[in-house]
Amino acid sequence: MRSITEAERRARLGRRHALADSHLASSVTEAARAVVALHGTDPASTVLSALARTSGTTPADVERALYDERSLVRVLSMRRTVFAVPLDLAAHCLVGASDTVARQQRKLLLKMLTEAGVADDVEKWLARAERIAKEAIEVAGETTSAELAQADPLLATRLQTGSGAYTATPTVASRLMTLLSAEGHVVRTRPRGGWTSTQFRWASTVSWCEIGRMPDLDAAIAEIAERWLRAYGPATLDDLQWWTGWTKTRTRAAVQGVGVEDVEIAGQPGLLLTDDVDPVDPPEPWVALLPALDPSAMGWKHRDFVLGPHRERLFDINGNAGPTAWVDGQIVGGWAQRDDGEVVVRLLQDTGAEAANRLDQRAADLTSTLGDVRLKPRARGWTDVEKSLRS
């Protein structure tokens, strides 16, 4: 059994994740493909992750891929997270990962409707609300949840989530869009405002893009597993299960549908695709500033080979990665944007003067790219490094 060192795993990351200068992606869509999918819950992360993996790309280019070419589509899928996935993977994600999310979301919404006392038969009530919502979306073409809530009193019904200081009262329309997106009926389209906005419009999936024929479950999970192993392998079965949000049973079934070989990583059993077992040489030295929730920081459950001892400084209390600074496949620090727009870096280990200078240049370039845009945490909390740099 071949033993793969941490150095080789970092070499693979630099090449496969389109981060080393000579291995950058040729387009925004190829940047997403390099890491299977870009994180999409925070729209700023989607944009900055794509920019970090391409040359000469602008936020407008990412918007073009998402909203004009539609070669990327946002799906609510793995780990109940929004991802911007290449169009040819969307159907596989909906069948192979979103299905679990959809069942959970339907069960949750029915529970909320029961607690709100909207009707004796909440399933019948919800079915009617779904029909009304779908018809309203078809008429509008694209619409926001707030606009949808105005289409019918059922959709404007308020529900309650959380308790105490964390109580929220979303409309049925808002919760319904989450459910229908997991089921593949609707898709997030253009946001209101700029490229960092989270106020998305919605459209029916069939009117927005051609995701093609839905595969069967076995084919869907095998495709997801193969793409993930090609980008993130070698890795453990535990890593794949965490990233997808699958059960152990589904994870094992997915791997059985793909040609894999057993390898050893850090004394633990790992997996590689059978056509990807040859040693990989390191690329030329590289640096990168990656945004919060970037796939390269969030790609594994067991990520010590890239993160080292810096978890507490660079991740929030829920395990979400903040902005990170990288040198040759290792996370060496973090970065933040101050209120005046300046991007600044904090190194947590010695990188040598050359790498440190290159990171400072990346920070200056990112300051220029962001311009008047100000980044705020979305779906995560501030990290210790961010708080320190911003103070």
Domain boundaries, the chain: 95-208
d(CA 98, CA 80): 8
* Arithmetic mean of pLDDT, 162-184: 91
DSSP-assigned letter for residue 236: -
What is the per-residue pLDDT for 270? 97
Q: What's the rounded Cα separation, in Å, for the pair 236 and 161?
A: 36
Whether the per-residue pLDDT at 252 is higher than 80: the answer is: yes
Whole-number pLDDT of residue 161: 84
Write down the pLDDT at residue 163.
77
Q: At residue 163, what are phi and psi to the nearest 5 degrees?
A: -155, 165
Is 219 strand, coil or helix?
A: helix
Please tell me the predicted confidence (pLDDT) of residue 97: 97
DSSP-derived letter for residue 327 is E
- Coil/strand/helix, residue 192: coil
Q: pLDDT, tens digit, for every residue of 210-223?
A: 999 999 999 999 99
Confidence (pLDDT) at 165: 75
Give 22: exposed, middle or buried? Use CB within 10 Å, 0-12, 13-18, 19+.
exposed
Q: Is the pLDDT of residue 164 over 90?
A: no
> C-alpha distances in angstroms, 262 versus 4, 94, 186, 301?
11, 29, 40, 18
Q: How far apart are CA 12 and CA 25, in angstroms?
A: 15
User: Where does the pLDDT of residue 190 fall: very low under 50, low under 70, confident under 90, or very high at 90 and above?
Assistant: very high
Beta strand 72-76 pairing with 200-204: unpaired
Q: What pLDDT is stored for residue 168 in this prediction?
A: 86
27, burial (CB in 10 Å: exposed 0-12, middle 13-18, buried 19+)? middle
Which stretch of DSSP H or E encloses residue 92? Answer: helix 87-96
Q: Give the model's pLDDT for residue 369.
A: 97
pLDDT of residue 1: 86
The owner of tokens 């990807």 is 276
Q: Identify the pLDDT of residue 160.
A: 86
On the question of pLDDT at 245 being above 80, the answer is yes
What's residue 7's pLDDT?
97
Strand 186-191 relative to strand 343-347, pairing: unpaired
Length of the chain: 391
Give 336's strand partners. 344
Can you say whether the dihedral through the CA atoms of 194, 198, 199, 204 is positive or negative? positive
Instruction: Indicate the pLDDT class of residue 162, thresholds 50, 70 and 90.
Output: confident
Q: What is the pLDDT of residue 126?
A: 97
Percent of the chain with pLDDT over 70: 100
Q: Containing H/E element for 200?
A: strand 200-204
* Lookup result for tokens 């070989």: 261
- pLDDT grade for 166, boundaries at 50, 70 and 90: confident
pLDDT score, position 214: 96
pLDDT digits (tens, 9 = 90+) for 108-123: 999 999 999 999 999 9
Angle between helices 217-232 and 6-16 (to 10 degrees): 110
Task: Give, in words, the CATH class of 95-208.
Answer: mainly alpha
163 conformational bin, left if phi > 0, alpha if psi -120 to 50, beta if neither = beta
Instruction: Please give the helix or strand (H or E) that residue 120 lies within, else none.
Output: none
Percent of the chain at pLDDT above 90? 95
Q: What is the pLDDT of residues 20-56, one digit of tens each?
A: 999 999 999 999 999 999 999 999 999 999 999 999 9
Residue 205's contacts (CB-CB under 8 Å, 6 or more residues apart) are 184, 185, 186, 187, 211
Rounded mean pLDDT, 226-246: 98
Contacts of 192 (CB under 8 A, 6+ apart): 144, 199, 200, 201
**pLDDT at 308 (0 to 100):** 95
The string of DSSP codes covering 134-187 is HHHHHHHSSB-HHHHHTS-HHHH-B--BS-GGG-B--BHHHHHHHHHHHTTSEE
Read off the pLDDT of each residue in 319-325 and give the average, rounded to a whole number.
Answer: 97
CA distance 123 to 126: 5
Output the pLDDT for position 60: 97
Cα–Cα distance for residue pair 198/200, rounded to 1 Å: 6
User: What integer is the mean pLDDT of 365-373?
Assistant: 97
| pLDDT class of 360 with cuts at 50, 70, 90 | very high
User: Which of 122, 77, 75 lies closest to 98 in space, CA to CA?
Assistant: 77
Under DSSP, is residue 188 helix (H, G, I), strand (E, B) or coil? strand
